[in-house]
């Protein structure tokens, strides 16, 4: 009896805590003058298909927890604000990296991992990926998108940032940062670097990083556990698999600890 009551109280505590956390992230009226949240809907893993249909599988592959979708207005402009709560900062950065679109390089944006254009502002903060869309494309809409982004920056300033592999960090620049991709499964690789799709088709729990550097692609393959599976390492060293990328088959790679580092033309 007491054990059942304990579990019920614990369950209610978790549910209430999650609801409070969601409320802290979602936009409220008058976060800054003129901002109004006119509609708020939430989606979990089971209902996400109802919101984005064919796109849901990719989010679930990356580690989706919850979507808070809001319609907000400011300065007579309507914005669609989607707040994706993912499993962790890697999941959030990964889904952002394969959804990024036409970023203005050198834009005066707010955080290190964001992407701004006239119609869209995308942000990563900790385990949250936030997509702010308008249909106007005016300078006022862009300015307001940045204001909305600044609200999220303050709300999520205590969130931990994503950690990049050392080889990626060494080669990052202001120009190529907005082209860095992180793929974490079959759909991610098919969308982000399809030439490796067959090679990785039999594996899971990996992270494939891809960064363009001066006309070449730097690829770093890491594993969720931090340890490269012995069978995978043996496959690389034997180079006997017919679907190996040419760079690996021709020895244009290095194994550094439990990471596979490859440069491709």
List the one residue out of 102, 157, 154 whose CA is nearest residue 133.
102
Partners of 39 in beta bridges: 71
Could you tell me which residues come within 8 angstroms of residue 7 by beta carbon, excluding any fewer than 6 positions away?
none
The predicted structure's pLDDT at residue 206 = 96
More confident site: 52 or 123: 123
On average, the pLDDT of the chain sits at 87
Structural tokens at position 172: 């990052």
More confident site: 144 or 112: 144
Check if the beta carbon of residue 35 is closer than 8 Å to that of residue 76: no
The predicted structure's pLDDT at residue 54 = 79
Q: 247-251 contacts: CB < 8 A, separation 24 or more?
A: 248/199
Q: Collapse the DSSP code of 253 into the 3-class scheme (helix H, G, I; strand E, B; otherwise coil) and give the result.
A: strand
Q: Is the pLDDT of residue 55 over 50?
A: yes
Q: How far apart (Å, rounded) are the C-alpha atoms in residues 101 and 194?
A: 18
The predicted structure's pLDDT at residue 23 = 61
The predicted structure's pLDDT at residue 16 = 39
Q: Is the pLDDT of residue 109 over 80?
A: no
Helix 139-155 × helix 2-25 angle, to 10° = 150
Residue 251: pLDDT band by 50, 70, 90 thresholds? confident
Q: Is the pLDDT of residue 105 over 80?
A: no
Q: How many residues does this entry show for the chain?
A: 265
Which residue in the block uniquely carries the two structure tokens 């979990």?
Answer: 44
Q: Is the pLDDT of residue 13 over 60?
A: no
Check if the beta carbon of residue 140 is closer than 8 Å to that of residue 75: yes
Q: Collapse the DSSP code of 73 into the 3-class scheme (helix H, G, I; strand E, B; otherwise coil) and give the result.
A: strand
More confident site: 260 or 105: 260
What is the mean pLDDT of the segment spanning 185-193? 93
pLDDT > 70 in the chain, percent: 87
Check if the beta carbon of residue 111 is closer than 8 Å to that of residue 125: yes
> How does DSSP classify residue 137?
-
Digit-coded pLDDT (tens) for 15-41: 434 444 446 899 999 788 999 999 999
What is the mean pLDDT of the segment spanning 58-67? 96
Q: How far apart (Å, rounded) are the C-alpha atoms in residues 124 and 82?
A: 12
Check if the beta carbon of residue 72 is closer than 8 Å to that of residue 191: no
Q: How far apart (Å, rounded) are the C-alpha atoms in residues 15 and 12?
A: 5
Q: Is the pLDDT of residue 75 over 90?
A: no
Digit-coded pLDDT (tens) for 134-160: 999 999 999 999 999 999 999 998 999
What phi, psi does 130 have (nearest 5°)? -120, 130
Digit-coded pLDDT (tens) for 200-245: 998 999 999 999 999 999 999 999 999 999 999 988 888 766 678 8
Q: Is the pLDDT of residue 131 over 60?
A: yes
């Amino acid at each position: 009896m007491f054990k059942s009551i304990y579990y019920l109280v614990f369950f209610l505590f978790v549910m209430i805590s999650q609801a409070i956390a969601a409320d802290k992230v979602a936009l409220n009226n008058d976060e800054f003058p003129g901002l109004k949240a006119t509609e708020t809907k939430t989606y979990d893993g089971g209902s996400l298909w109802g919101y984005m249909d064919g796109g849901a599988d990719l989010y679930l592959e990356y580690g989706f927890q919850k979507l808070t979708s809001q319609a907000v207005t400011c300065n007579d402009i309507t914005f669609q604000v989607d707040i994706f709560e993912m499993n962790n900062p890697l999941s959030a950065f990964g889904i952002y990296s394969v959804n990024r679109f036409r970023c203005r390089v050198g834009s005066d944006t707010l955080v290190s991992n964001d992407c701004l254009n006239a119609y869209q502002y995308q942000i990563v903060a900790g385990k949250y990926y936030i997509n702010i869309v308008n249909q106007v494309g005016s300078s006022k809409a862009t300015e307001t998108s940045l204001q909305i982004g600044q609200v999220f920056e303050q709300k999520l300033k205590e969130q931990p940032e994503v950690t990049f592999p050392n080889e990626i960090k060494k080669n990052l620049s202001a120009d190529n940062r907005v082209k860095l991709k992180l793929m974490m499964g079959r759909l991610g690789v098919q969308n982000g670097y399809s030439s490796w799709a067959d090679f990785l088709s039999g594996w899971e729990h990996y992270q494939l990083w891809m960064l363009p550097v001066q006309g070449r692609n730097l690829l770093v393959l890491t594993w969720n556990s931090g340890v490269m599976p012995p069978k995978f390492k043996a496959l690389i060293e034997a180079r006997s698999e017919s679907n190996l990328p040419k760079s690996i088959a021709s020895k244009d790679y290095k194994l550094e600890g439990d990471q596979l580092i490859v440069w491709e033309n």
